[in-house]
Amino acid sequence: MKSHTTVGSGIIGKAISLVSDMGYLKEAQNLAKYHHEKWDGSGYPSGLKGEDIPLSARVMAVADVFDALVSKRSYKAPFSFEEAVEIIRDGAGSHFDPAIVKVFMENLDAVREIANRHASET
């Protein structure tokens, strides 16, 4: 499971070698590779910490975890919106960049709307 970050990064790296304008693909590579890094340095694959984690991956970390929490999986029932928000809030400063969590919390109405729309589409 943990290898999906480096495998995805490698696939995007191959795509980068095929194009002349790789700016957007470099950002996609950062997202793929670093979205499981944690603010406190305990994540993977590189153990990056704090602002050493690319900003896009810090944003993706919050979105990815929130989505995983509120989504039904074959191995778990979905968490409620409120439970998922509390887990994100509790992870500020350890799992997640506190500034990203602050922005997430300031936009809960939009987050709820997106989550509800996603739930009704699946």
Give tens-digit pLDDT for 20-49. 888 889 999 999 999 999 999 999 999 999
What pLDDT score was predicted for residue 48?
A: 98
What pLDDT score was predicted for residue 101?
A: 98
C-alpha to C-alpha distances, 41 to 19, 34, 60, 101, nearest whole angstrom? 33, 11, 16, 17
Give tens-digit pLDDT for 60-104. 999 999 999 999 999 999 999 999 999 999 999 999 999 999 999
Cβ partners under 8 Å of residue 6, min gap 6: 33, 45
> Sorting pLDDT into bands at 50, 70 and 90, what band is 2?
confident
Q: 4-121: which CATH architecture? A: Orthogonal Bundle (1.10)
Residue 73 forms beta bridges with which residues? Answer: 76
Annotated domain spans of the chain: 4-121
Contact call for residues 111 and 63 (beta carbons, < 8 A): no
Phi, psi (rounded to 5 degrees) for 73:
-125, 165
What pLDDT score was predicted for residue 122?
A: 63
Nearest Cα residue to 105 out of 69, 72, 66, 77: 66
> Sorting pLDDT into bands at 50, 70 and 90, what band is 1?
confident
pTM: 0.90
For residues 5-37, one letter each, b for 16 or more C-beta atoms within 10 angstroms of the residue's C-beta and e for the rest, the string is beebbeebbeebeeeeebeebeebbbbbbbbbb
